[in-house]
Structure 1
Amino acid sequence: MLVAGCGSVGSYLAEVLARAGVGRLALLDPEPVEPANLSRTVYAAEDVGRPKPEALARRLLAVEPSIALALEPRAVDALPPAALDARVREADLVLAATDDPAAQRALDRFAYARGRPALFVGLYAGARGGEVILTVPDRTACYLCATRSRHGLERAGGRVARELDYGTGRLRGEVALAADVQHVASAAAKLALALLAPEGEPGLRPFAEEVVASGATYLTLSTVPGYWFYPQVFGDTPGQGAYQSVWLTPARAADCPVCGPPEARCDPLEVPRRAPDAAAIARAVREAGDGV
């Protein structure tokens, strides 16, 4: 299993999965553990300064010494395309929990193209809500199509997504309660275990199969009352408050390069994963002009 992003969501999920018996994990994250991480991750004070994959590996080996771990202290876009492709192919399940929308989309492209189920987990602003998107190639919409559902709901009911740092292209970090983070991550953990369960297993497997069969593969959750569009759904239903959830049914776009018809799809190895360097382009233009 590939865990991309070892922060508050990814570190918690990795530990839950290790305790549940998942025997092999690849851990991918470019950042070190910082003091601010300690309130909502599985890391300890002694881990501060260590790369997150290394610190998480220490934690998981303390829980289950026999677990097999592969460590990638790099960002998704820092991995050569062939290396990312290999990591995805090796995995039975891809768990995307980065704070980089471009990285999430890259993982979506590779997982869908290589026939690997994937879970995309994210927290909304202030962890007042979050999402878990399940994708199974050729059975569900991809992550790209699913997030279009959120964009439409945000236009109607207000923005809930975290702000983007336009300097880095990543979502801005925010203060959040570990309890709220883990509420969202726990839903992803159960879906992950259900997807990893053998075919025909009667306990967990039906949980994921029913979600896929229904098409409602986009789970949204709230950790506060009266959240987002939820009052329109639940109205005056008695006994309602925080910890509500709504499963959305995303549609596949006819021209989607990830989950659309075969003629519309792109090989992820051929898709650029970084924006062109404007300075490099300008320099190349100048050099070309000098050579004329």
Structure 2
Amino acid sequence: MSRVIIRSLYNVGRQMNVLQKKQENNAANTANANTPGYKYQDLIQKTMAEYEVHNHTGGVGNDKFQTLGTINMGTEIDEAHTDFSQGILKETGLTTDLAISGQGFFSVELEEGRIGFTRNGNFKIDENRQLITQEGHPVLAVDQVGNTTRIFVEGDDLSVNSSGFINDSGIKIMTVDFADYGSFELSGDALFLPENEEFELTQSSVLQGYIENSNVNLMDEIVKMMEISREFESNQRALKVLNETLQKTVNEIGRN
């Protein structure tokens, strides 16, 4: 009896850990509802492997092997799924704001020569007249022979046409795409680092004076928040009942 209760306590505790992770994910989505280029994430939950339960109380003499059925140890988080669907494009009128219409990512230079990829085109020009992200990462372009280069803005204004060419030059905003988004690792709010950095340059349509809004649906997140809260309450009640039952069992054993 006590083993069953302890196992049930373990299962409920594991489920509450899963709920905590889902709550943290829900909070991250909600906090980034207004972050340009942010992509909604969902946690996929799965049932753990089942194990056969048996004893040796079968047969006339209650001494033979018999199968009682199967049991699993609850649920766990299988993976984090990122929804890369495009958010609504919002017009800002700022020349340093850029948005990709359709597939693709902007490319930015990170530390140690790594390249990161983002849909967040909320850029700015630093004191060296270089186009950078709000975090200070240089935005990348490709020149006429296909070499990667940083973007320096000459004159007062930045001009980017729909093909991504800068100030009527041969330098083009570096937009890329991947065959598979499954290996992307999220770094920060809207910056992705793929395990496999093999990408293809794209002819993405670039809109100047626009940014892409987050694709988070706040109403969905509020509903999920309420569902998680109710599940927490249900599991707390189950823990209380199991704890009281275990205490009674221990007290009975103590008296005997």
The normalised TM-score by structure 2 is 0.22
The normalised TM-score by structure 1 is 0.20
Bigger RCO of structures 1 and 2 (CA < 8 A, at least 6 apart): 2
From the CA coordinates, give the structure whose radius of gyration is larger.
Answer: 2
More strand, by proportion: 2
